[in-house]
Amino acid sequence: MIQRFYVWIFAALLFVSLAFILSLNAFTREEVDLQVGDQATEEIVAPRSLSYISNVITQRERELAIAEVGNIYQETDRDIGRTQRANAQKMFGFIDVVRADNIASIDTKLAYLSAISFVAIEPEVAQHIVELDQEDYEAVRLDVLRIIQEIMQEPILEGQESRARQTAAREGSFDLTPTQEQIVTALAPPFVVANTFFDEEATTEAKDRAAAGVQPVERTFTAGQPIVEVGDIVDAEDLEALEQFGFMQPETDVANLASGVIAAALVAVLIALYLNQFHLNLLDTARYLFILTILFVLFTLGAKLLLPVPGNWTLLFPTAALSMLIAVIFDIRMSVLITVMLAILVGYIGNNSLELAVYAAAGGLMSILTLRDADRLNAFFRAGLLAATGNLAVVMIFRFALTEPIELAQLVGLSIANGLIAAGLTLIGFFVVGSLFGVITTMQLQDLSRLDHPLLQELLRRAPGTYHHSIMVANLAEQGAERISANATLVRVGAFYHDIGKTARPPFFTENQDGVNPHDSLSAESSARIIINHVSDGLEMARQHRLPQRIQDFIAEHHGSRVVWGFYRKAIEEAGGDESKVERERFKYMGPRPQTRETAIVMLSDAIDATAVAIRPNTESGIVALVSKTIDDHVQEGQLDDSGLTLGDIQQLRESFIETLKGRFHVRVRYPGNEELVAAAEEQGGEMPALAEGGAATPAGTSPTPDAQESADAEAKPVAANGAEPIPSDVPEAEIVS
């Protein structure tokens, strides 16, 4: 509940900070009330350097390009010419009939001719047609058909028919009489029509291509350069520049403020929802959320202040540095989210630049893929070079076909420099964050993993058995962590230190005993308190040696809230078998249960290693049973509920533990003396036999070592997570010390 509270406090702080940064222009600019056509009464200069894409100039260039595109027409339709000539022949066929009619009067014939639908024949022309002798008429007919055929063979554009008809009227033969020429001029032009039509779709596409071919026009101002001078008539370009610098009316202020607030809210809510869903257990203190807030706000502020620089220098802004910092301080999944969120804001700040947003995202994502478990200095620069590779790819995508070679070389140099700057900033930030906030870094992990560390040397001298056990647990846990892509380096180091508290009282732990069991002279409750206190003793030692909090978590959580069953049973025996007289809570570890995947892996590895050392399984079925039993007990008790481990993770850990133990406990010769143990294992199908709590089969007449419950019950019936279920009397006292 506290964790969720921290997350939403973080979201609120992040929102307020981002909203303020993104809306800086709305609060700091002077307001200017100008419109296109107004005369400027004062000089307005650029308050800072700024480059932006001028939509006004770009649109004007596009309009000019569109205007240069002429109308596109479809291919000339020759069928139209043939159709028109056929219509003319039909007309002459009708005229032939009218002329040959010897019964109809002249007026009737004229009426017939005026009714022809193909062409409007004036009465005077009709009179000439009727009265013309056959030879002259035939010459007219042939000339009209010739003219139609010749004119219609040429392209006649839609809308230009009148010009073609004028040409047809002048195409009559020179040997015609004036009367014949009058008839030809009247009959031929009406049959001339358009045969080449406007192609609207093709014309639109051509104009669109022409407009698309116009590259966005960038306009650049340097700080102090006049935007509008006194007496200038403000045009659209001037107004656009004033808007870019934020000099316009209050309505523009409100719009910028609103967009900044919305962008800040979107980013803050998305990050908070992600943390609640996937990283609630990781962020167990407010410190990590505070670090995340500070880093994100600083990089956003840097983008707001630096991205308005003119030209291509915006490509130097090292967004990948934040990606790498988040990857090494938190993990790669969170880094992916933060990278995408920062890229969105970078694009927004950079005048809604898609190129800049993709550039920021590509460089960041490329870098974190190699830096998740960085433990060497050169890892940062390797990741920086990978970020530069992502930067270069984006530059080539957006600029390769549109940029001159000299400028392209500059872009390549800026992209590479960006990656190197990001690597350097990450390295610096890495050490600053680690020292200021006490956050564990991979460099610290590398130092803590050295076996000559004072705490580990003290553990080796005072509790050599525990030291060896810790090394074995580290190997087992590291393999499991790598299998599920957890932080294997952190797991290994955490396993080294998880049992350092045992150096306070080494003889009370089985792995350090040489045959004398000091618990034999103590009450069950006293023994349990000594065993349980190795956790608090370890935390005290860790604080004295200033171990990072993440390492202290392994000490505090590696037993969770489990019960020390061996001493709990012994206490029941001391109470005459009356379980009601024994307070179970006094035999439980204080916890908390594992809060991260890494501490849960060490908990399981600790229990499995201790159990394996005790029974030394020499068959695959025995190893499978051992691992499965131990993991199932922890799951059923709810010890892994807060760890963030999924069922898939647990299954992969099970497989990893089995593989590691198979390599460690191979089949051995059965020496005399262990026949009873072997027979018990075979009889139970590889499951654990009843063992002494000291880690070996209990000889007859000897009491079990009572501290053994420090790890998983070897054969104990699983209890409810709250520990309320009574322990059956038939459960063997096989409790193993981890």
Q: Is 6 exposed, middle or buried (0-12, 13-18, 19+ CB in 10 A)?
A: buried
CB 216 within 8 A of CB 53: yes
Q: How far apart are CA 633 and CA 489, in angstroms?
A: 27
H helices present in 68-105, as ranges: 78-100
pLDDT at 708: 38
Buried b (16+ CB within 10 A) or exposed e, 122-154: eeebbbbbbebeeebbebbbebbbbbbeebbee
Kindly report, as residue ranges, where domains of CATH 1.10.3210 are found in the chain.
Answer: 453-710
pLDDT at 26: 61
Indicate the fold that domain 2-25+251-439 takes in CATH. Answer: Arp2/3 complex 21 kDa subunit ARPC3 (1.10.1760)
Residue with tokens 């990450």: 426
pLDDT at 266: 93
pLDDT at 72: 84
Phi-psi region of 111 (alpha: psi -120 to 50; beta: other; left: phi over 0): alpha
Residue 670, C-beta contacts closer than 8 angstroms, at least 6 positions apart: 678
Q: How far apart are CA 14 and CA 299, in angstroms?
A: 12
pLDDT at 462: 93
CA proximity to 96, closest of 129, 52, 68: 129
pLDDT at 114: 84
- The angle, 0 to 180 degrees and rounded to 10, between the axes of the packed helices 319-329 and 286-306 is 170
Provide the token pair at 288.
Answer: 């990590």
**Average pLDDT over the chain, rounded to whole?**
81
3-state secondary structure of 533: helix
Phi-psi region of 701 (alpha: psi -120 to 50; beta: other; left: phi over 0): left
Q: What is the CA radius of gyration of the chain?
A: 46
Dump the DSSP string for 538-590: HHHHHHHTT--HHHHHHHHHSSTT-B-HHHHHHHHHHTTT-GGGS-GGGGB--
Q: Kindly give the parts of the chain with pLDDT less than 70.
A: 1-4, 25-31, 47-48, 223, 249-253, 255, 279-286, 308-311, 372-377, 402-403, 438, 441-443, 666-738
Q: Is 521 exposed, middle or buried (0-12, 13-18, 19+ CB in 10 A)?
A: exposed
pLDDT at 737: 43
Q: What are the tens digits of pLDDT across the range 350-401?
A: 877 888 899 999 999 998 887 755 556 677 888 888 898 998 898 888 877 7
CB 714 within 8 A of CB 733: no
Question: Under CATH, which number does the domain 453-710 receive?
Answer: 1.10.3210
Kindly report, as residue ranges, where domains of CATH 1.10.1760 are found in the chain.
Answer: 2-25+251-439
CA proximity to 318, closest of 428, 402, 434: 428
> Could you tell me how far CA 375 lies from the centroid of its own chain?
25
Neighbours of 30 (CB within 10 A): 9
